[in-house]
Structure 1
Amino acid sequence: MTDIPDVRPAEAMEAVNGSAPAMVVDVRTRAEWAYVGIVDLSAASTQPVLIEWQTFPDMTVDPAFGDALAHACPDKETALYFLCRSGARSLAAAREMAGRGYAKVFNIADGFEGPPDELGHRGHVAGWKAEGLPWRQS
Structure 2
Amino acid sequence: MTHVPDVSPQAAWEALKTDPNAVLVDVRTDAEWNFVGLPDLSELGKKVVLIPWQMFPTMQVNNQFTEHLRKAGVTPESRVYYLCRSGARSLAAGQAAQAAGFPQAFNVADGFEGPVGPDGHRGGVAGWKADGLPWVQR
Scaled to the shorter chain, the TM-score interval is over 0.9
Pairwise CA RMSD: 1.1
Give the aligned residue type for 2:39.
V
SS in 1 for 2:81: strand
Give the count of matched residue pairs. 137
Deviation at 1:73, TM superposition (A): 2.7
Pair 1:48-2:48 in alignment:
yes
Find runs of 4+ consecutive structure 1 residues off by over 2 angstroms.
none
Structure 1: segments with no counterpart, 5+ residues: none
Deviates more, 1:96-105 or 1:33-42: 96-105
Give the aligned residue type for 1:114.
G
* 1:104 paired residue number: 104
Give the aligned residue type for 2:84.
C
Whole-Å Cα distance in 2 between the matches of residues 74 and 16 of structure 1? 14
Whole-Å Cα distance in 2 between the matches of residues 119 and 69 of structure 1? 37
Give the aligned residue type for 1:48.
V
Pair 1:83-2:63 in alignment:
no
Between the aligned residues of both structures, percent identity stands at: 53
* 1:14 paired residue number: 14
Deviations 1:85-110 (A, max 9, x none): 00000000000110012121000000
Give the aligned residue type for 2:51.
I
Whole-Å Cα distance in 1 between the matches of residues 112 and 36 of structure 2? 9
Deviation at 1:18, TM superposition (A): 0.7
Whole-Å Cα distance in 1 between the matches of residues 116 and 17 of structure 2? 29
Give the aligned residue type for 1:100.
A
TM normalised by structure 1 equals: 0.96
